[in-house]
């Protein structure tokens, strides 16, 4: 099974500091053309947080494990957007609650994008996605959106055998 990170099952393992965060869009695995979104904090050596299973605890991993995560999952980083959170303590408390509860991942309506948005919103951040499709969740030039939509259309045609 590819590396997804670790479940945070005890306090004090990760010193959360969500003053500065980044939403990190990475490519999808297998047929997932929407990609995946992680939340990154550079403080204390850097940590990534994300949800990726249907019903499971969120995962975390250190910056040192980022390349392992990308490699074992066949992913590549697409873009990264840094943000300052006005109330990092509120974001940290929200994150601690999220890490202690199992997350119901609902494909597009309640997914990795919603997870990141929740933490950012709790910290008073103004970033939110205009799409729950991670590839489109960060600032994207129109050419990239067009390329994505063409790719999506081709995948649909291939899936149904229509050319």
**pLDDT tops 80 at residue 10:** no
pLDDT at 143: 61
pLDDT at 42: 95
| pLDDT, average across residues 68-81 | 93
Q: Any residues with CB less than 8 A from the CB of 163 and at least 6 apart, and which?
A: 157
**pLDDT tops 80 at residue 18:** yes
Q: How many CB atoms lie within 10 A of CB 4?
A: 18
Rounded CA-CA distance 137/54 in Å is: 20
| pLDDT, average across residues 111-135 | 86
Structural domain including 62 reads 6-160
For residue 106, which of 58, 54, 56 has the smallest C-alpha distance? 54
Rounded CA-CA distance 53/78 in Å is: 21
Residue 53 contacts residue 115 (beta carbons within 8 Å): no
Q: How many domains does the chain have?
A: 1
- Lowest mean pLDDT of 90-94, 95-99, 120-124, 156-160, name the range: 156-160
Q: Any residues with CB less than 8 A from the CB of 19 and at least 6 apart, and which?
A: 43, 84, 85, 88
Q: What pairs with residue 7 in β-bridges?
A: 59
Position 26 in a domain: yes
Mean pLDDT for the chain? 85
Q: Is 48 helix (H, G, I), strand (E, B) or coil?
A: strand
> Please, where are the H alpha helices in the chain?
66-72, 88-100, 112-122, 134-137, 142-160
pLDDT at 69: 97
Position 1 in a domain: no
pTM of the model: 0.80
Q: How many CB atoms lie within 10 A of CB 20?
A: 14
Position 90 in a domain: yes
Question: What confidence tens digit (pLDDT) does each residue in 131-157 have?
Answer: 777 766 665 555 666 677 777 778 777
Residue 19 contacts residue 43 (beta carbons within 8 Å): yes
Question: What confidence tens digit (pLDDT) does each residue in 44-73 have?
Answer: 999 999 998 888 899 999 999 999 999 999
């Amino acid at each position: 099974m590819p590396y997804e990170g670790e479940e945070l099952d005890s306090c004090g393992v990760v010193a959360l500091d969500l003053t500065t965060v980044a939403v990190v869009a990475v490519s999808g695995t297998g047929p997932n053309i929407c990609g995946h979104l992680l939340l990154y904090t550079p403080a204390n050596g850097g940590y990534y947080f994300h949800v990726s299973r249907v019903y499971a605890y969120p995962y975390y991993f250190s910056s040192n494990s980022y390349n392992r995560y990308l490699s074992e999952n066949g992913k590549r980083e697409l873009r990264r957007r840094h943000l300052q959170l006005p109330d990092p303590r509120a974001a940290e408390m929200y994150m601690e609650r999220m890490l202690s509860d199992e997350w119901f991942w609902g494909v597009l309506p309640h997914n990795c994008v919603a997870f990141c948005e929740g933490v950012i919103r709790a910290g008073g951040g103004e970033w939110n996605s205009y799409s729950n499709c991670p590839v489109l969740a960060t600032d994207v030039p129109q050419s990239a959106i067009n390329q994505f939509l063409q790719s999506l259309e081709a995948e649909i045609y291939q899936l149904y055998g229509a050319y």
